[in-house]
Amino acid sequence: MKYFRYGLFALLVVFIAGCYEITEEISVSANGSGVYTTKMDMSALMEMMKTMAGEEELAQGGLDRVIDTIIPMKKVMDEAKDISAEDKALYAAGTMSLKMDIRENIFKTDMQVPFNSFEQLQKLMSGSGSGGMSEMFKKIYGKGDNAASSPSDQGLDELNTIFDVTVNKNEITKKLNKEKYDLLMSKPEIAQIKDMAGAGMEVLYVSTIKLPRPVKKSDNPLIKLSDDKKTATIRYNLLTIFDAPESFSYSIVY
């Protein structure tokens, strides 16, 4: 379908307008359990879709439907073919909500995954099983040429996989892995986004980590602490990662 071949271009135009937001929220307890949440607001993409595609193409792609649903991730993982058994088990207890109404310009997703250990949180923060979002879109819209694509299909979710993450009872660290970074930068879909990065794009990325104890030390000036020092927040334009990826490495000792 011609409309879906325009998916990446539409997404890039939205970036230029600075209307794309990703929020990561992590709540971790002293025993290593907690909840990992990822929210994406792509509402500005709706208006672009209406501009670029006629009603017939929207209907063929299923995008004329109003959707407000919560999907158990176990159902999605049971049907997924390209995700490991370990990652399926990790995401099985999670839920994915989707609100989409092209007439009202609403397009939001919210994925919540509970974890039971520091090791599981480490995998989640490393981008393990990041195909979950794509699998959800396939489930809702079908597969093949007429399937709607998500931002993860464009390689955007992989931007967080270029870091080596370590999580334990005293520390959370993210350190740039240069080999992973160079490999990602060689991909054509990333190259297209990188070429547009100088044209005013902005992808607001906010990561909030709620800890069981106050932060003793952090080494990145982007990290802002709450008054009680139990919450660390990092806010930045994700696309600046192309110019200075090492500036997003950090260590939080608590």
d(CA 186, CA 238): 18
- Per residue of the chain (254 residues), give pLDDT as tens: 443 444 444 444 444 445 578 899 999 999 999 999 999 887 876 666 666 666 667 666 666 778 899 989 888 888 877 778 888 889 899 998 989 887 788 888 899 999 999 999 999 998 754 545 555 555 555 544 444 444 444 456 677 789 999 999 999 999 999 999 998 888 887 776 776 666 666 778 899 999 999 999 999 999 999 999 999 999 988 878 888 889 999 999 99
d(CA 54, CA 70): 28
The label of the residue with tokens 């929207």 reads 58
CB 246 within 8 A of CB 162: no
pLDDT of residue 140: 54
CB 127 within 8 A of CB 158: yes
Element (H, E) at 39: strand 34-41
Q: What is the DSSP pairing of strand 106-115 with strand 95-101?
A: antiparallel
